[in-house]
Structure 1
C-alpha cells in the first residue's frame, strides 16, 4: 500500500490543531483557543492512553530486541500518564557508540519509533550499514501487522501550521508529529 503526503497530513491534523500555539492558558488572551482544550489534543491524549494500555505488547517486543542489541527504551515516561506522546520510541547502541564519550545519550546511532497515531513506524539510522535496521523493521512488522515505514521524502515534509513541544510553529515535520521530537535525537547517516 502506497503512503501519500495527503494521507499523512490527514493523520497529523487529526491529532494536532492547525494554527494554535502550544501555550499555557495564562499566556493567552481570554476567549482565544488554548492548545490543550482542542479536540485534536484530546485525540492525542486518547492515543497515548491507548499506548499505555497496550504497553505489554511493546514491552515484549523490546525484550526480544534487547536480547540481540544494546537498547534504551525511550517510552517509559509514557507509562507515567502525562501528556500525549505520539509514539513508542527506543534507541539502539552499536559497539562503536559505546566508546568513552561525554554523554552516552548523544551517541546512539539508531532510533526507532512506532506511532500511536496511525499504522506507521520509523527507523532513523546514523550508523554504518549492517543488519540492525532490517532486524528492527522485521520485529516491528511482526509485532504490529499492517504497520509500514514512512518514506523519508514524506516524513521530512514540514507541517507549516502545527506547534508541538520543543518545536516551533512551522518547523515540525511529519516524522516529528507522528514519532515525537525524539525522532531528531539520532542524526541520519
Structure 2
C-alpha cells in the first residue's frame, strides 16, 4: 500500500506544531508560544515514553542484527528519558561508511538511509526484513516523500524551513549518514 504525502504530514503535524520555533522560554518574547508547552510536544513525550516501554522489542532486533554486522545502537538516550521520534542504529559497511536505519515511534514507518556504496543493498534488504518481522505493518517511507521539506516546522537542532519528513519522523539522527 502506497504512503500518501498527506498521511505523513498529518503525522508530522500531530507531533510538531506549525510555526513554533523550538527554543527555550528565555529566548522567546513574552506571550509567544513555546514549543515545550504545546500539545504536539506533549504527544512527542508520550511517544518517547511508549518507546521506552517497548524498548525490549527494539533491543531484541538490534541483538539479532548485531550478531551478523558491526552495529551501533543510537537509541540508548531514549532509556535515559530523552524525547526522540524514533529508534535509530547504524551498520558499518566499511571502517568509514555506515547505513543507518530508523523505526518511528510516531507512526508505522521505517527508513533505511543508504550511503551509496555497492555493498549496501543486501544489508539493506536484510535490515528491512528484520524490521518488518519485528514491527508488522510498518512501511518504508520512499525518498521522494521523506526528503520533502516541511516548511513550517522546527526541531531542536533544525531550523524552521529545514526539517524534512525523514527528520521529523526519524529524528535529526537521519542526517548522520551522508551518501558518498
TM-score band, normalised by shorter chain: over 0.9
Partner deviation per Cα, 1:33-89 (whole Å, 9 max, x = no partner): 10000000000010000000000000000000001110000000110002x200000
1:88 maps to which residue?
Answer: 87
Runs of 4 or more, structure 1, over 4 Å off, are none
Residues 141-152 of structure 1 mapped to structure 2, 5 A cutoff: 141-152=132-143
Q: Secondary structure at the match of 2:61?
A: helix
The answer to whether the Cα contact below 8 Å between 1:109 and 1:187 also exists between their aligned partners in 2 is no
Which residue of 165, 169, 172 maps to 1:178?
A: 169
Count of residue pairs the alignment pairs up:
178
Are the equivalent residues in 2 in contact too, given 1:91–1:108 (CA < 8 A)?
no
Match of 1:53 in 2: 53
Residue aligning to 2:112: 123
Contact conserved, 2:147 with 2:165, CA < 8 A, in 1? Answer: yes
Contact 2:103 2:170 in 1 (8 A): yes
Shift of 1:188: 3.0
TM-score, structure 2 normalization? 0.96
Contact 1:120 1:150 in 2 (8 A): yes
Show CA shifts across 1:1-22 (max 9, x none).
1101100000000000000001
Equivalent pair of 2:23/2:156 in contact (CA under 8 Å): no
1:12 and 2:12 are equivalent in the alignment? yes
- Write the deviation string for residues 121-141 of structure 1: whole angstroms up to 9, x where unpaired: 000111324410000000000
CA distance in structure 1 between the aligned counterparts of 2:112 and 2:76, rounded to whole angstroms: 19
Alpha-carbon distance between aligned partners in 2 of 1:138 and 1:183, rounded to the nearest angstrom: 20
- CA–CA separation in structure 2 for the residues paired with 1:59 and 1:173: 27
- Output the aligned Cα RMSD: 1.0
Q: Which residue of structure 2 aligns with residue 63 of structure 1?
A: 63
